[in-house]
Structure 1
Amino acid sequence: MKLACGVVFLASCLVSQAAQSAETFLEAPGPHGPLKATLLAPDAGSGRKAPAVLIIPGSGPTDRDGNNPLGVKAAAYRLLAEALAQRGLSTVRIDKRGMFASAAAIPDGNNVTINDYATDVHAWVNVIKAKTGAPCVWALGHSEGGLVALAAAQNPEGLCGLILVSTAGRALGEVLRGQLRANPANAPLLADADSAISKLERGGHVDVSSMHPALQGLFAPAVQGFLISNMSLDPAALLKAYRGPVLIIQGDKDLQVGVEDAQRLGQANASAKVVVLPDVNHVLKAVSSSARSANLAAYADPGLPIAPGIADAIVDFVQSAARRP
């Protein structure tokens, strides 16, 4: 929805925008305490009759808005939720178990697996259906959240379908190897990194005490259990086993996940729709420059809107699926 506002009418336009959507805080049951989230409905009600989309965050300490304390302030999930609300879709964006407002759900936010997160997806699906009256929920996973969505979809009950955004088509070990090699400055670290990744892929733990500090952070003992669980999953194989509607969205300026990942996912599931968006980066922002510095600058800019093609592609897909017999 586009709003044309002159300076004199700015306040009234802002009031009008606020009236078109409404936020509600939700809770779902967690292992030890509640999981928490924000429902953004396209009107002042609870989102009833609107399709419902669950936004599953990417890796690390990423909050429900798409930000994390490691320098990402793009607010991609909040901006996406607002764009979808303007187009008639309800969204629920969540804090992961053990983090942020969901900190009480488990004692240690690092002591998790992908399947734990998938369990939480189904807890949220039940809450969203009860709150909104939606017959099913779309699982939208961003980056690592796409792998969580795929794991959850192995039990498809309650799911309308999958929306995989900037999601790797390869297992994490292969992704990490590619990311490390993409930066020439990492050359001195590659031998230790390859050895650590290979051992984690085999289900073993790694002694990081003699590693470079950067690798000590990447392979910290506290997260090795999670890395092992993640590396054991092949997203393409999971998608091949899924029979519901699938939309795959990938930007061609993504520094972390490539177009080849979207293509690999698409090849795994012939019925999936693949949308490649030009000049879109990993945090869903439009970046015209090929300079790495300009791309990364968008990670810290919440004032930069998400690329408009993302919300349009999601709405078109959801509406098209609803029209199918």
Structure 2
Amino acid sequence: MNYYLSLFLICFFLNVNGQETYYSSKDIAINTLIDGTLLVPNNTAKPKLAIIITDYGPTDRNGNQNFSNNNALKKLAESLTSKGIATFRYDKRIVKQILKKKIDAHITFDDYITDAISVIDYFKNEASYSEIYIIGHGQGSLIGMLAAKDKADGFISLAGTSQSIDKVIIEQIGAMDPTLIEATTKAFESLKQGKLTSEYPQALETIFRADVQPFIMNWMQYDPQHIIKSLDMPVLVVNGTKDLQVSVDEAKALKLASQKADLKVIDNMNHVLFIIEGDELENSKSYNESFRPISEVLTTTISEFILN
């Protein structure tokens, strides 16, 4: 064999640590709405599979959206597969719609649950995997625990909140401007009763726009603590101390709600799974810095949880 070809093949099958990373990659269309990427370790008969569900907004399979290009979920998938775990990560349905310029203005939170269940069912029917675990990041934590119930073998929450979304938003608004709490709470009370409202702080137009309210109304009916308590499977809750969006207290509350849950708090890890040694400016900038590696403690913690 040509010397340079041999050298290329050796380098291709080695990662930076000199460990073998033999796995295959395949793009799969679950249905007309959902596309994703499957990574499967070679020479492993019926490996365990981890399905990764993305965060809020038009987030793609790699964990990216406009002005936030970090590839965090792609790195997570590749790291887990290099440790012998098959992974599937997929674009939220809105991503495909944006690319095709055919956006459904009536997407609901329940649609994302339906999509996650479709993914689980696809791989259960394929019967190529010994166990199926769900990893939900951010909003994907709530979607994942709802989809995982009675279907998956284990569930992992990454930076998931412990409160319904209305309570999360009210808490965040209060931290920014306490004078908006009363009006924000009143607006959510209207949505809780199934009524759209035009009475809300104009500073919160992006949250309470008329076209967004039905989605929020659907989303806020779910209580993560109640749902995680109902999961009859191994559960792992993970959060980082440098997460600007979800505090460690949220992870602790999820842990307390589930007798089956283990909790791992990772020092200096932020919301997009990077280790941040500096200040909030470095933290914020990192969301768009794809050159950063994700936390090694994170990948070790998750892989040990799944494999053991």
- 1:24 aligns with 26
Q: Which amino acid aligns with 2:190?
A: K
Per-residue CA distance 1:139-179 (angstroms, 9 max, x = gap)? 1100110100121134x13x111111100011111111222
1:65 aligned residue (62, 73, 88): 62
Q: CA deviation at 1:73?
A: 1.1
> Would you say the 8 A contact 2:225–2:254 is kept in 1?
yes
Secondary structure of residue in 2 paired with 1:222: coil
Question: SS state of the match for residue 237, structure 1?
Answer: helix
Give the CA deviation at 1:22: 2.1
Q: How does 1:12-91 map to 2 (within 5 A)?
A: 14-17=11-14, 20-29=22-31, 33-43=32-42, 48-69=45-66, 71-91=67-87
What are the residue-to-residue correspondences of 1:244-323 with 2, within 5 Å? 244-289=233-278, 291-320=279-308
2:90 to 90, 94, 108: 94
Counterpart contact for 1:55–1:93, Cα < 8 Å: yes
Q: Take 1:246 and 1:299, find their aligned partners in 2: how far apart are those partners?
A: 27
- For residues 233 and 29 of structure 2, what CA distance do their matches in structure 1 show? 27
User: Match for 2:160 among 145, 167, 172?
Assistant: 167
Quick one: percent identity of the two aligned structures?
28
Q: Which moved more, 1:215-224 or 1:52-61?
A: 215-224
Alpha-carbon separation, structure 1, partners of 2:65 and 2:245: 16
CA offsets 1:97-121 (integer angstroms, 9 cap, x no match): 23237977x9644423333222222
Give the match for residue 191 of structure 2. Answer: 200
CA distance in 1, matches of 2:196, 2:72: 34
Distance (Å, rounded) in 2 between the aligned partners of 1:109 and 1:248: 33
Q: TM-score, normalised by structure 1?
A: 0.83
The one-letter code of the counterpart of 2:148 is A
For 2:153, what is the secondary structure of its paired residue? strand
Change (3 A) 1:20 1:34: same
Match of 1:142 in 2: 137
Any conservation in 2 of the 1:117–1:148 contact (CA below 8 Å)? yes
Relative distance call for 1:274 and 1:24 in structure 2 (3 A) is same
CA 1:115/1:281 → structure 2, altered by over 3 Å: closer, same or farther? same
Matched to 1:310, the amino acid is L
Distance, in Å, in 1 between the alignment partners of 2:129 and 2:293 is 28
Aligned-pair distance for 1:132?
6.4
Asked if the contact 1:99/1:109 (under 8 Å) is kept, the reply is no
Distance 1:188 1:68, change over 3 A: farther
| Aligned residues of 1:35 and 1:101 also touching (Cα < 8 A) | no
Q: Taking structure 1 as reference, are residues 14 and 130 closer, same or farther at Cα in structure 2, changes over 3 Å only? A: farther
| Alignment partner, residue 240 of structure 1 | 229
Question: What amino acid is the match of 1:318?
Answer: I
Unaligned runs of 5+ in 2: 1-5, 16-20
Superposed counterparts of 1:168-183, under 5 Å: 168-183=161-176
> Mind listing any 5+ residue stretches in structure 1 that lack a counterpart?
1-8, 321-325
| 1:124 corresponds to 2:115 | no
User: Aligned pair in 2 of structure 1 residues 61, 316: CA closer, same or farther (>3 Å)?
Assistant: same
Q: CA deviation at 1:87?
A: 0.9
SS of the residue 1:99 aligns to: helix
- Find the aligned partners of 1:95 and 1:161 in 2 and give their Cα distance: 22
**How many angstroms apart in 2 are the aligned matches of 1:100 and 1:239?**
30
Distance apart, 1:85 and its partner CA: 1.3
For this pair of structures, how many residues does the alignment match? 298
Deviation at 1:14, TM superposition (A): 4.1
**Contact 1:97/1:109, CA 8 A, preserved across alignment:** no
